[in-house]
Amino acid sequence: MTTHHLRLPAVAALLVLFLALAASPQDLAKCWFQYAWKLRTTASRVWYLNESTRGFVAVQFGGSGDTPVTADYDGDGKSDVAVYRSGVWYILRSSTAAFDAIAFGAAGDVPAPADFDGDARADVAVFRPATGYWYEQLSGGGSAAVRHGMPGDVPVAADYDGDGRADVNVFRASTGTWYRINSGSGAFAAVQFRSVGDRP
């Protein structure tokens, strides 16, 4: 695992820059308009959040082609802005505004973050369709590898048995069946539930 920390007080820095460059309120408004326009023209790298406490927020984070992997990685009860890119996880932690880059996964893996160890923090995890294996890097320490699934399956890890830990689970569109391994008992379960065109 490779992890890097970097403070990113991006919004504050931008405001300071605008204030320093703007000679008048009109100039300030113009600068902000240009920046807002730039955000929208690079939409693949911008998160538009409608937060329950702060209202509308726009956060520039990630690159074109990244996969969003929002989850609460730091256990503060708030989802963190995060993306997965070719085996690397980029996470902007809401509790500290620190930026983490975590190398975990390989080309072709499907990111599947969830709290597998029950410590109230999402764990970095991937599903490898080619082999049917799940690889988990547990936030409480250690790692795990579980074989469950096949090519074409969609990973949908969540706490289905109510024990506080996410269960390894896949949805197989060809049959409309959900296949899971309960973390509490280790028991296997299969549930057919879907309509044509449904996505988990």
pLDDT digit string, tens, across residues 103-125: 999 999 999 999 999 999 999 99
Going by pLDDT thresholds of 50, 70 and 90, the confidence category of residue 96 is: very high
Cα separation, 158 vs 121, whole angstroms: 13
Q: State pTM to two decimals.
A: 0.75
Tell me how far CA of residue 41 lies from CA of 35, 64, 81, 142, in angstroms: 10, 12, 20, 41
Q: State how far the Cα of 192 lies from the Cα of 75, in Å rounded to an integer.
A: 33
What average pLDDT does this structure show over 35-46?
49
Nearest Cα to Cα of residue 165 among 179, 180, 183: 183
